[in-house]
């Protein structure tokens, strides 16, 4: 596959062009207007940020994208799917409240917010893809209903996938609750019985008789469980959770295949902003200081090339003083492990900026398996030409 074009601009601004205008110009230069938006529904996939987190993308950026879609005759909406974990975005009502608190209201962004997988995370479309790890992806119905798909991604570190880029935003972010469970594990939740009160809400919602109440405590029969996630949504004590038992590589493979399910067969466009590069996902109810300085905005039709370009740019940057990355770089044990993992004699910055800042932030993770698999299944290519504007 030929190298993909990835367009880049820094966060430098002038009195003649602010950052919002610059984002518009970046998208235009990258070919946004090649898409026919006339009377088409356009899903803009974004992370609204967990309540308490402040590193998510400002809603002003979402407004630029939404306004541009409307300028071209389209009908945009912002979207994300409910979370698998307990938090402020577990169901559509709480999710909308959090989105609005964080500034993603129609008045501020110029378009409506639709939670892609419905009230309780079960409104999904089954998308056959027949890949090695996923045969049928479970994607939020509203996202699959859209004619055009746009990802607007906050590029950051991630405690499981190494980094959270376009593929993470698309694959994991667009999965319904059952889809998220399938990517994270074998799709079977369990009960923390210490906090269970035996109310039976889980058994009442289950169509397969998987939750069983014994001695005032619930447990889930994994032989009967189909991984729909309904019990997670209704538990009043939030003591039902998915078992994150699979390897990082399997998570990455499934995430890539879910991204393919979302993107195949319709026009797609991808924008990533490398700013406030927090070490962890915006799903956290807190955000630590960034691991690297702000870098810029990137856009491409290819999400794989986009993620690779973002990673390369981040890996050329020094650690922000006092960050987790900075602490780990000074840790001889972690740097020694890095040397072994990367088969290097020493772990110091070289002229190519080859140090893997994401591995050093979370030494138990890796991200290359995701991009390698995404390229293998035809989602895009890791080879790119960076076009600076």
DSSP notation for 268-290: EEEEEEE-S--SS-TTSSS-PPP
Read off the pLDDT of each residue in 369-378 and give the average, rounded to a whole number.
Answer: 98
DSSP H helices in the chain: 19-29, 59-71, 92-101, 106-109, 141-145, 166-167, 177-184, 201-205, 230-234, 248-263, 303-315, 324-329, 332-341, 357-361, 368-376
Read off the pLDDT of each residue in 339-350 and give the average, rounded to a whole number.
Answer: 55
Q: What's the CATH code, domain 4-184+248-319+369-388?
A: 3.40.50.11440
CA 263, 56, 61, 4 torsion-angle sign: negative
Does the pLDDT value for residue 33 go beyond 50? yes
* Integer Rg of the chain from CA: 21
The chain-wide mean pLDDT, for the chain, equals 92
3-state secondary structure of 91: coil
- Report in angstroms the alpha-carbon separations of 190 from 169, 186, 223, 230, 239: 26, 12, 12, 12, 8
pLDDT grade, residue 41 (50/70/90)? Answer: very high
pLDDT grade, residue 94 (50/70/90)? Answer: very high
The DSSP call for residue 172 is I
**Distance (Å, whole) CA 106 – CA 85:** 26
Tens-digit pLDDT profile for residues 241-272: 876 656 788 999 999 999 999 999 999 999 99
This prediction's pTM: 0.88
What is residue 184's predicted lDDT score, i.e. its pLDDT?
81
- Report in angstroms the alpha-carbon separations of 123 from 115, 116, 144: 10, 8, 11
**pLDDT higher for 353 or 273?**
273
What is residue 346's predicted lDDT score, i.e. its pLDDT?
42
Domain ranges of the chain: 4-184+248-319+369-388, 189-242
Tens-digit pLDDT profile for residues 287-340: 999 999 999 999 999 999 999 999 999 999 999 999 999 999 999 888 888 877
**Distance (Å, whole) CA 64 – CA 60:** 7
**Distance (Å, whole) CA 94 – CA 238:** 14
Note whether 4-184+248-319+369-388 and 189-242 share their fold: no
Contacts (Cβ under 8 Å, ≥6 apart) of 310 = 155, 163, 165, 272, 274, 298
Read off the pLDDT of each residue in 283-287 and give the average, rounded to a whole number.
Answer: 93
Asked if residue 36 lies in contact with residue 267, where contact means CB atoms within 8 angstroms, the answer is yes
What is residue 245's predicted lDDT score, i.e. its pLDDT?
57
**Distance (Å, whole) CA 70 – CA 13:** 25
Tens-digit pLDDT profile for residues 128-149: 999 999 999 999 999 999 999 9
pLDDT grade, residue 187 (50/70/90)? Answer: low
Out of 2.60.120.10, 3.30.70.20, 3.30.1960.10, 3.40.50.2300, select the CATH number for domain 189-242: 3.30.70.20
**Distance (Å, whole) CA 353 – CA 35:** 36
Does the pLDDT value for residue 49 go beyond 90? yes
Contacts (Cβ under 8 Å, ≥6 apart) of 88 = 50, 51, 52, 94, 95, 97, 98, 285
What is residue 87's predicted lDDT score, i.e. its pLDDT?
83
């Amino acid at each position: 596959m030929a190298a993909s074009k990835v367009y880049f601009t820094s966060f430098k601004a002038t009195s003649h062009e602010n950052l919002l205008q610059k984002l518009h110009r970046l998208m235009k230069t990258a070919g946004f207007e090649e898409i026919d938006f006339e009377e088409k529904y356009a899903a803009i996939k974004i992370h609204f940020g967990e309540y308490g987190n402040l590193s998510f993308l400002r809603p002003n950026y979402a407004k630029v994208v939404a306004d541009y879609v409307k300028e071209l005759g389209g009908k945009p909406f912002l979207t994300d799917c409910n979370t698998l974990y307990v938090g402020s975005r577990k169901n559509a009502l709480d999710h909308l409240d959090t989105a609005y608190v964080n500034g993603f209201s129609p008045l501020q962004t110029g378009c409506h917010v639709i939670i892609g997988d419905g009230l309780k995370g079960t409104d999904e479309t089954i998308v056959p893809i027949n890949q090695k790890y996923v045969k049928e992806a479970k994607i939020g119905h509203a996202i699959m209903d859209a004619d055009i798909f746009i990802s607007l991604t906050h590029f950051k570190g991630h405690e499981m996938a190494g980094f959270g880029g376009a593929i993470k935003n698309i694959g994991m972010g667009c999965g319904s609750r059952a889809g998220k469970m399938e990517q994270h594990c074998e799709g079977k939740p369990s009960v923390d019985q210490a906090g269970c009160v035996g109310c039976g809400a889980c058994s009442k919602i289950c169509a397969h008789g998987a939750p069983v109440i014994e001695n005032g405590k619930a447990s889930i029969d994994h032989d009967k469980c189909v991984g729909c996630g309904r019990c997670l949504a209704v538990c009043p004590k939030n003591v039902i959770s998915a078992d994150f038992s699979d390897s990082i590589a399997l998570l990455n493979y499934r995430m890539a295949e879910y991204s393919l399910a979302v993107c195949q067969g319709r026009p797609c466009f991808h924008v990533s902003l490398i700013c406030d590069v927090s070490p962890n996902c915006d799903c956290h109810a807190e955000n630590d200081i960034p691991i690297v300085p702000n870098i810029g905005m990137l856009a491409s039709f290819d999400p794989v090339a986009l993620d690779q370009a973002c990673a390369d740019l981040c890996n050329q940057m020094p650690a922000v003083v006092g960050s987790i990355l900075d602490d780990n770089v000074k840790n001889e044990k972690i740097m020694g492990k890095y040397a072994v993992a990367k088969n290097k004699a020493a772990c110091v910055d070289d002229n190519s900026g080859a140090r893997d800042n994401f591995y050093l932030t979370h030494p138990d993770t890796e991200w290359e398996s995701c991009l390698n698999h995404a390229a293998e299944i035809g989602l895009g290519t890791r080879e790119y030409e960076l076009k600076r504007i």
